[in-house]
Structures are given as C-alpha cells and as structure tokens.
C-alpha cells in the first residue's frame, strides 16, 4: 500500500535528523539564519510570555524563542520525529524554560487559548492539511496572540520562480547527496516546496483559519516568506 504523506514525511525526518542542522545552512546558503532573525525582530517577543513552536525539529527556533521570553517565560516545542527531538534535546539543555514534546501538529495536545505566540518554521509544507494545522495553531493561541509561519514560498518575480524550481529540483538534492549522503530524502524538499501555496494564498488560509490582521514579508526574492496573523480579541 502507498505511504500517506505523514508516513513519508516522518520517515524522511527520522532519517535526516543527524545532518539536518548542517544541511539547513548548505541548502539555503546560510540565508535561513537571516530569515529567522528578521522574523524574530518582527515578532518583538515580550519577556515572560508563553510560546509554542510547532514542528520544532532540532529546536533552533524554539531556542530563539526561549532567549526572547527569558527564564520567567515558557516555551514548548512539538514535533512527531523522535530523532529530530533527540538532536534538539541536547541543544535545549541550557534552557530550563523549554519543554520538547512528541506530538502531532494536526491535533495539538494543548487547551484553547494557552500561548501568547505560536510559530511554525519550515514545517507547514510538510503536514497533510495546512488549514487544519493553522486552525489548531489559532485554537491554542490566546485572544490577541500571534501566529507566525516562516516557510519556503513561490516567488512573484518573473524568472525567479523557474530559477528556484530548477535549484530545488536539480541542485539541492545533489547537495543532499554530497553533504548528507541522501538524495531521496532531499528531493522531498523539492516536492513539498513546489506544492506549497504562494504568499497571497497562504495569507488567505491564515484568514480562513480565523486569524486577523494578516501580513507577510518575502525573503530573498520570495525563496521564503514570513506570515503573521492575530487571534481576535473576543
């Protein structure tokens, strides 16, 4: 029987966990660091607040959130790959305010209105139903709280889109083969990035999930984009 998307994604991340951090730098030419830093600047996270990082993987964004909320705050990171979390566990040791949780983004194991910030970094394109995950993120964020997605995107600049597709299809999996010895796993990135909606469509999905005041910002000509939305104050 054919594997479901979730089963395939799970298998991919279980197998690339040891090389994931190194490969992130290689395949994005280290640009992901600037995208992540700029997103955090836009969020202006308040010390002492509560944050959830969905699809946290090896916990890079989780750690950035922990540094922003400080020791009086609280950060949960959730992921369904035990191997990605295992790498993350070592990195989060110096941060007592972080708890990493094994769980499914499609059914977040938290009560309604729990967090001030809910983030997802390069995770949304991997889930079986984008809208379901955005609805879950909307459900667990507090009224007035912020939902943020940083993800690969579709460039709106003529020619760029084809360039990115060529890169994702032919170059990136070769980097995967050279640096991580896994061509197959890195070709998944191309498939998931191709299928992922462009900025306007993703903003519309944010609104469909119930979020308001939705804004977005393109990075590196649209190779990636940050989307921010807020939960209505009742």
Ligand X SMILES: C[S@@+](CC[C@H](N)C(=O)[O-])C[C@H]1O[C@@H](n2cnc3c(N)ncnc32)[C@H](O)[C@@H]1O
Return the residues of window 50-79 that contact ligand X according to CB under 6 A. Answer: 55-57, 60-61, 79
Stretch that binds ligand X, among 115-123, 136-144, 153-161, 173-181 (CB under 6 A): 115-123
Per the annotation, binding residues for S-adenosyl-L-methionine are 58, 79, 104-105
Q: Which residues contact 89 (CB under 8 A, 6 or more apart)?
A: 59, 100
Nearer residue to ligand X within complex by CB, 74 or 151: 151
Stretch that binds ligand X, among 5-13, 152-160, 175-183, 209-217 (CB under 6 A): 5-13
Nearer residue to ligand X within complex by CB, 61 or 186: 61
Contacting residue, 65, 105, 146, 148, with ligand X by CB under 6 A? 105
Radius of gyration of the chain (CA): 17
Q: Which residues contact 14 (CB under 8 A, 6 or more apart)?
A: 81, 82, 83, 84
| Beta strand extents in the chain (DSSP E only) | 50-54, 74-79, 98-102, 115-121, 141-152, 211-219, 224-231
Per the annotation, binding residues are 58, 79, 104-105
Distance CA 70, CA 47 (A): 6
83: nearest Cα among 59, 61, 66: 59
Backbone angles phi, psi at 10, to 5 degrees: -60, -45
Answer yes or no whether residue 223 interacts with ligand X by CB under 6 A: no
- Smallest distance, Å, CB 159 to ligand X? 26
Q: Which residues bind ligand X (CB under 6 A)?
A: 6, 9, 13, 55-57, 60-61, 79-81, 84, 104-106, 121-123, 126-127
């Amino acid at each position: 029987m054919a594997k479901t998307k979730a089963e395939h994604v799970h298998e991919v991340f279980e197998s690339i966990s040891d090389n994931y951090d190194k490969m992130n730098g290689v395949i994005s030419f280290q640009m992901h660091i600037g995208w992540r830093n700029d997103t955090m600047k836009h969020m202006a996270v308040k010390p002492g607040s509560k944050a959830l990082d969905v699809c946290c993987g090896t916990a890079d964004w989780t750690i950035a959130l922990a540094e922003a909320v400080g020791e009086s705050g609280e950060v949960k990171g959730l992921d369904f790959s035990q191997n990605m979390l295992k790498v993350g566990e070592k990195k989060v040791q110096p941060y007592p305010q972080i708890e990493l949780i094994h769980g499914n983004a499609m059914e977040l194991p938290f009560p309604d209105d729990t967090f001030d910030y809910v983030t997802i970094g390069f995770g949304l394109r991997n889930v079986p139903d984008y809208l379901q995950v955005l609805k879950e993120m909307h459900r667990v964020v507090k009224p007035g709280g912020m939902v943020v997605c940083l993800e690969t995107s579709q460039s709106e600049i003529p020619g760029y889109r084809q360039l990115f597709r060529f890169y994702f299809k032919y170059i990136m999996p070769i980097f995967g083969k050279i640096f991580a010895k896994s061509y197959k796993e890195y070709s998944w990135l191309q498939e998931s990035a191709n299928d992922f909606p462009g900025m306007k469509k993703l903003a519309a999905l944010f609104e469909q999930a119930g979020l308001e005041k939705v804004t977005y910002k393109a990075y590196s000509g649209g190779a990636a984009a940050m989307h921010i939305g807020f939960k209505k104050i009742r």
